[in-house]
Chains A and B, each alone.
Chain A
């Protein structure tokens, strides 16, 4: 029987009512009295020296409040980077300054040079056109390998070169890994590209800065996944505003996918300008601006090698990756190709020796940072592609080769510094074999052939590290922040609850699933629990939502706070029931004395807490409100096995996905419907990366795919009906809910399944194709078949 409430119930997403009826409150819905608008004049060339900016004519145009250029921000901090990576020689990464408005040079198309604040947006745009701007164009650095050549043009003159860092992991294992390759019976190697992506959330970024002269308080309304992080970074490092004078509000946010984690120049600008102009200042990104100013994702070029012994056991993995940082370091950029990527290179396999080398490179392109999965899709893609290629080279069944090398005993310490607490990789693979009907594949392939199509089957596994992250560990790894989460549970006098969380919801349905957890613990109706998030003024300091961390870390904080509430409520109940506290039981929203019929309702206890006439005032304080901070002791490790079946049209190279099955292990599940939805969305994005999405620059650093006319997003008719299962459950051992997180899995696990399937289809037709770089667009597939 499915439950109709609490943990495990597919409760309908309560937030959808406002989203679907136009009653949401997005940042662009916020309009302040007397608000002015800012338009950013952005660089349309990739690299150059600014020789002249003359704003005098523009400043006199109708409606102009003030025009800002880089010189207005001398002495103001630049955009901070939140993670310092140490290279293989023990040296810190090269970290260039990142100005709010360009200082002297422009380094990518889209970099803001000047900002015009005016009464209306059109006036701001008119005035921006009247700014006289001269830029001496310099050669653009676009290709990562070219960028590292001796004598290459430097993106930043004050750095040694274009190498942000050269990271070796685990450096001490390098020789042993090399030795294992010398001793290998078989080595499979593969060079591949993990294509650059633009996140493209449905809602573009928006910022509204407001300043209260009377109290010297600044407020920023922004499209963020983590308002507290923005407040800390912007207040402490950029503008010098203490937290108690700075409020950051991220109201309803229409999708983030990582690109709304980071602190952006426009946020700092609007906050700064609101004070400088003594007027609220609003910026709403156009879609065109989003393409050239939102941090991009992925963009790795990798060579991976897999060594096997004579029995096909994996003995070592060696990788060399070039990771594009773009022109500046976005907030968490350095961590993505290192700690979120290298630590996942063991995948689901007991490979004893692994060495990962990552060269992070500056180029004259938009900064690159975390995008759904962040590092883990890149790890999974290369590993699952090389394993597939190895199986083909060895003539063994790709599933059997995987199974043979699966980790089966937990906890398992990988050679890349992490310890998996639980998992059952055979379990998810068994489930997948059932769902995928692999026995029926031959018949389906024959049917496709009759229609002139090539059919292929691709399978892969994935592991991810979620529930980010133990603060002491990430501190050692270079994080300049802690990664705990917080919750305050406020019980009102009449029994309703408000839970204020430091997590943020931007489409994930936290308002529903979080309420389910708290309601279950107390045994009350979900509708008695309200979830509040997104405003630093009324939520405890928390680190926000990304890395599939919200239920695992934010949910755990909520559990801890609710436990404190229950403990205190039991004390009150024991007083009211005149019984020993040890005998008080809470069930279905009532406290009773064990072994008696004496009980007191939840609402009577909460009322007593606020009207403490009959109350143990000598022992406990009145009121019922508790806060907890939860810092996880480990990552969580969701895992799964995916299968994709494609048809390839040999005449055109067009790939269509005919079937897609996903068997995931997310540990315990709070709301199965929401989890299914998260997997669907993740699969759509992963398939989008595999087949459609291609963020491409030309050699001059111009973005070729700068609008939806050229950047292909996945649409419903690009996708099959998904077959999704999460009944394989090995609960997380170290958090109170036993949950692992599900937000990124689909995007991590699906790209290799698609590419494996297409390679299978082409090889079935005798084509000597071992790899095609994503996206597998028709022209690329056709060229590979005919090349």
Chain B
């Protein structure tokens, strides 16, 4: 690890000011960033911890019924307090291990946009709104490929708003070593249609499976997926599975998510 300055501001405004320093970087739970620093793969001048900002903590319900989660809220808190959106709470409950869930934050996870992470599927599958210190970004505009998002330099996620669906479910088929998603499928059924977001599979990061959404919007049952398939060509191919295998799992996990949706 290289040396860096450390600040732990108490407000979003102070955090933004602190992040104004050249090469300053926000620190959420550190579950991705700290290992990166230990490997000397990053050299920020300053880390600005977001954990001391009260307005970025906790789970609440908005006037429109949406579940709103502070950007620095850890996964364990979401797992225990987002009961108003059970599929979201369950998703958080299966991220990493207890240590990771007690440190890692939703803002950090969405900012990082790991192609195998779980929250991106939940956010995209729910059509969530990513709220930052300057604007509100629709999930459909936010995810822009592996480790790439709509966030600008120094912009931080202060809150994430999830409209609560009629039914939803997340099926995670774990990569045996990391236990991130080898393929994870988040489906949510809203009055105006079904959304299907898939993580772990694509070289372009989390994506929506349009054919499955159309099929499920007219017939919300596992059979609706029969005959649909994704191509393995653009899928991740690695030690843990070929692109074809991942493409196959997308179908299997989507069916299972529909069957389990509640």
Residues of A within 8 A of B (CB): 122, 125, 129, 288, 651-654, 691-692, 694, 696, 704-705, 708-713, 777-779, 782-783
**B residues within 8 Å of A by Cβ?**
1, 39-40, 173, 176-178, 182, 238-242, 245, 248-249, 252
Residues of B within 8 A of A777 (CB): 176, 240
Complex A-B: 15 CB contacts under 8 Å: A651-B252, A692-B177, A694-B239, A704-B238, A705-B239, A708-B177, A709-B177, A709-B178, A710-B178, A710-B239, A778-B173, A778-B176, A778-B241, A779-B240, A779-B241
Point out the residue from B1, B173, B239 that lies within 8 Å of A696, measured CB to CB. Answer: B239
* Main secondary structure on A side of the interface with B: loop
Complex Cα spacing A652 to B249, Å: 7
Known pairs A710-B177, A778-B245, A779-B240. 19 more at Cβ < 8 A?
Answer: A122-B1, A129-B40, A653-B245, A654-B173, A692-B176, A692-B177, A696-B239, A704-B239, A705-B239, A708-B177, A708-B178, A709-B178, A710-B239, A710-B240, A712-B176, A712-B177, A778-B241, A779-B245, A783-B242
CA distance A653 to B248 in the complex (A): 11
Chain A residues whose CB sits within 8 angstroms of the CB of B245 once the complex forms: 653, 778-779, 782-783
A755 to B249, CA, bound (A): 23
Determine if B176 and A652 form an interchain contact, defined as CB atoms under 8 angstroms apart.
no
CB distance from B28 to the nearest CB of A (A): 19
Which of chain A's residues have a CB closer than 8 A to the CB of B176? 691-692, 712, 777-778
Chain B's nearest CB lies how many Å from the CB of A301? Answer: 18
Q: Enumerate chain B residues within 8 angstroms of A782, measured Cβ to Cβ.
A: 245, 248
Q: Please name the residue on chain B nearest to A775 by beta carbon.
A: B176
List of A residues within 8 angstroms of B178 by Cβ: 708-710
Question: B242 touches which one: A125, A694, A779 (CB < 8 A)?
Answer: A779
Q: Which residues of B contact A783 (CB under 8 A)?
A: 242, 245
List the 8 closest A-B pairs by CB distance, nearest first.
Answer: A712-B177, A779-B241, A712-B176, A709-B178, A779-B245, A651-B252, A710-B177, A704-B239
**A239 vs chain B, min Cβ distance (A):** 32
Which residues of A lie under 8 Å from residue B39 when comparing CB positions?
A: 288
CB-nearest residue of chain A to B180:
A709
A149 to B242, CA, bound (A): 29
- B135 → chain A, closest Cβ, in Å? 33
- When C-beta atoms are compared, the residue in chain A nearest to B97 turns out to be A715
Residues of A within 8 A of B1 (CB): 122
Bound-complex Cα distance A653 to B249 (A): 10
B177 & A125 in contact (Cβ 8 Å cutoff): no
State the Cβ distance, A287 to closest chain B Cβ, in Å: 10
Once the chains are docked, how many angstroms separate the CA of A284 from the CA of B177?
A: 24
Contacts of A692 in B (CB 8 A): 176-177
Bound together, the chains give a CA A125 to CA B252 distance in angstroms of: 47
Question: Chain A residues with Cβ under 8 A from B252's Cβ?
Answer: 651-652
User: What is the minimal beta-carbon distance from B258 to any residue of chain A, in angstroms?
Assistant: 14
A651 CA to B1 CA in the complex, in Å? 44
List of A residues within 8 angstroms of B240 by Cβ: 710, 777, 779
Query: Which residue on B lies nearest to A694, using beta carbons?
Result: B239
Please state if A705 and B241 are interface contacts (CB–CB under 8 Å): no
Query: Distance in Å from the Cβ of B251 to the closest Cβ of chain A?
Result: 9
Contact A652 B173 (CB under 8 A): yes
- A778–B249 Cα distance when bound, in Å, is 11
B116's nearest neighbour on chain A, judged by CB, is: A709
Whole-angstrom CA separation of A607 from B252 in the bound complex: 76
Shortest Cβ distance from A120 into chain B, in angstroms? Answer: 12
Contacting residues, chain A, for B239 (C-beta < 8 A): 694, 696, 704-705, 710
Q: Is the CB of A125 within 8 A of B40?
A: yes
Query: Which residues from A are CB-within-8-Å of B241?
Result: 778-779
Measured between beta carbons, the chain B residues less than 8 angstroms from A653 are 245
